[in-house]
Amino acid sequence: MMGTTMADETTTAPRPGALARARRAVLGWPPAARLTSYVALGVVLSLVLGLVLVVTVVRRPLPPTEGAEVMPGLTGDVEVLRDAHGVPQVWADTTEDLMRAQGWVTASERFFQMDVRRHVAEGRLAELFGADAVPGDRLARTLGWARTARAELAVVEPETRAALAAYAAGVNAYLEARGTSEVAVEYTLLGIGGVGHTPEPWSETDSLAWLKTVAWEIGGDLDAEVDRALTTAAVGEAVVDDLFPSTEVADPVVDQGALVDGVFEQDAVTGGTRNPLRPAYGPLDDPGVLDQLRRTDAALDRLPSWVASGAGRGSNAWVVDGDHSVTGAPLLANDPHLDATLPGVWMPVGLHCREVSAACPYDVAGSSLPGVPGVVVGHNADVAWGVTSLGADVTDLFLERVDGDTYRFEGESLPLRVRRERIRVAGGDDVEVEVRSTRHGPLLSDVLDPVADVAGSEDHAVAVRWTGLEPGTTADAILALDRAADWEDFRAAAARFTLPALGMVYADTAGRVGFQAAGAVPVRKSGNDGSLPVAGWRAETDWTGRDVPAAGLPSVVDPDGGVLVAANQAAAGTRYPTLLTTSPDPGYRAARITERLDAALAEGGRVSAQDMVSIQGDDLHPLADRLVPLLLDVDLPAGYASDGQRLLATWDGTQPPTSGAAAYFNAVWRSLLAGAFDDELPLAVRPDGGARWVAVVDRLLDEPDSPWWDDLGTDGEIESRDDVLRDALLDARDDLTSRQAFEADEWTWGRAHALDLEAATGPLWGSDVARAFLDRTGPPTGGSGAAVEATDWDAAAPDEEPGDDPWRVTTAPSMRMVVDLGDLDASGWVTLGGVSGHPTSPHYDDQLDPWAAGDLLAWPFSREAVEDAAEDVLVLEPGEE
């Protein structure tokens, strides 16, 4: 054997080197079996080395959290203390150092998110993700977010500009000390895909543009206006109100007061009026008008889902004064509802001046927007505040009569304003964009392609007017809130908010509680109530050019009863004369929160912080007590068909993830909506199942023979409510059987109601490997859209892939907080996801489990408490710029 091996070696093997000869002298030439082992070992070693390389690459961007780092531009040392979940709390001696450090720390955890938001705002996402991002870029260029942000820099206060500049300097100091692959692993993934992107320096206007995208996501009711217009065209003006009810099941936040000489006085009982007198433009089923409305609706869908405004985005916020709390001091709760993505929109942070003074006035902690200096929601040493969407109508659509490069207004032909821009596309040719505007704003209907001729109709286009297209002072407001010391300071800060329009709840350590509406809300002429597109060629439908004065927006402080609940219901009662919106939330969440608080306060009881946390997790479906008895009255065959009814018979209406009855009820709800409305509504406006549709069905349940129950697709038959309910029960049984199990006792709501957290840019990645690396599947989730635990899902969404569940979470509480004004260190918070934007960081998703369980994490505030909780301490030291 040895001889054969040596002979083979002399004829086929290359001449060995000295090391190989020495090895053979000691061991002999390995036989075939040993050769196979060495090959296998080599493969294993290669895999290990590859794995080590991959781990090194993906972990390279993780930021330093201990020791010392040099940061150019600082005037003194800055300390960054992080707790077990990586939440940073920053201490500095000057405002400039504090803002620089916030920029540095935020960039270290979230820069890719910041960079993507910047590209969205500027209409440059295609530079990163190619042609699929071009439609969204066209919409962003049309809206002109970045142009408005640049103009805004000249409007904000000098101290705000200084904070924006310091923040940007901190971001850039982090970038300059690192190569692109050290900033975020996503840049490495882009490089693998052929996109060699080097981030540009951060600028002050990037922060302001960031605010525009958030305001577009949260504020206004443009989707509702388009939906109402398309629905009106489909079903007619006579019955459209059935599908847009004015139902209000909760009291308004402020149910007292009136405007006196333009100022809202909470104790006034009379005031002026400015009610709409004339209807919107019609008919909306004109072929040209309908075509442009459809184009507009499609254009609004072109932005990434986490920027697009739409259903499910709201908030819960409430406050209880010290006379009604266990602690004897106010308690404040807040949970804003936004798109469920990773990383989330908020980054928790504490910003502390070592010695609070006029020169360095910050001692604040809460949720920040990565890319924007300061804390948006939270508390300082004196006051706490939470925010909800006010629901104010701050956007309108104007139908325009267009002829070539002109449009009509009051009998005249006026020139369209035109600007041209170029979109660079990764891996493709540049795209030229022409943005045309009228006196009302840019033409949204141009986003897909220019206005088309429609036979037998005038040429129409759709312009949008939005308060966010005017320079505003929201950045001033954020920093002023962080410095506020009392109710007067808080109201002055709120008056600087221009967008989004917010309902803000307030509490302070002196025991006061209050509510203040904030934001730029337009005053419309009497021919426009904002609910439908209006004729842009008529002056009577225009805005007056004035906003509701900040002093004239609804507010109340120290109300009778000591409790305020703001959950997107109407902000003010019927005595308030100025139009805020025609479509507030029906108020199911607000009513349930109030019910829970009343129960806690019954018979002289008091509300505890744990009560506040429990209410945030309340998952009762608001329609269960109305719909379930009717479902149980439907006669179904025993056995398979009625197994779901058996679950409903003992169901209490709550929707924890373990509930099979909740799974069945929501499956029935989806089928009921489709059976009642899909035959009459176009796909774009079919029921999503949110609070508006709860109100619609709530009323129709009392009308068993309403035409809405009839299926227009069945000739010679007229279906009733009970026919639709029967079909929905049977369809839901089949649906859950195919998706979960044959045995009804094995169904669970958490399995259907999946919390699949996509990376914000997930759909734009061409690589499934990249998406798998960035995305996360969260723990089983309870709740639903109209419940206080507002984990929304889209009943109209088709199943995208086999195995997908249509009940998966779309929007959810983006964070939760409960502030104890008697002991700020006893407060709690939790964020959907985690602090970090790095997918290999332990803090990328380490708050998912407590979030899903309805728990809050400790929120230390005082220096002593933060030090006790700290697990990592980093010192940023001055260095030369």
What is the reported pLDDT for 258? 54
Does the predicted model carry a pTM greater than 0.85? Answer: yes
- How far apart, in whole angstroms, are the C-alpha atoms of residue 570 and residue 215? 19
What's the pLDDT score for residue 870? 98
Computed over every residue of the chain, the mean pLDDT equals 87
SS3 514: strand
pLDDT at 759: 86
Cα–Cα dist 613/829, whole Å: 10
Distance CA 315, CA 335 (A): 6
pLDDT of residue 456: 34
The HSE-up count of residue 492 (CA atoms within 13 Å, CB side) is: 10
CB 506 within 8 Å of CB 385: yes
- Taking only the tens place, the pLDDT of each residue in 452-500 is 443 334 588 999 999 999 999 999 999 999 999 999 999 999 999 999 9
Mean pLDDT of 9-31: 36
pLDDT (0 to 100) of residue 14 = 38
Q: What is the pLDDT of residue 39?
A: 53
Backbone torsion region of residue 328, taken as left when φ is above 0, otherwise alpha when ψ lies between -120 and 50, otherwise beta: left
Spatial neighbors of 512 by CB under 8 A, at least 6 apart, are 321, 330, 486, 487, 506, 557, 558
Q: Report the range of poorest mean pLDDT among 179-188, 252-261, 265-274, 858-867.
A: 265-274
β-bridge pairing 383-389 and 377-380: antiparallel
- 20 has pLDDT over 60: no
Per-residue pLDDT, 225? 82
Look at residue 246 in the predicted model and tell me its pLDDT. Answer: 76
- Each residue of 831-857: pLDDT tens digit? 999 999 999 999 999 999 999 999 999
97 with 108: CB under 8 angstroms? no
Confidence of residue 584 (pLDDT cuts 50, 70, 90): confident
User: Is pLDDT of 644 > 90?
Assistant: yes
Domains identified in the chain and CATH numbers: 624-654+660-747 (1.10.1400)
Give residue 662's region: left, alpha or beta (phi > 0; psi -120 to 50).
alpha
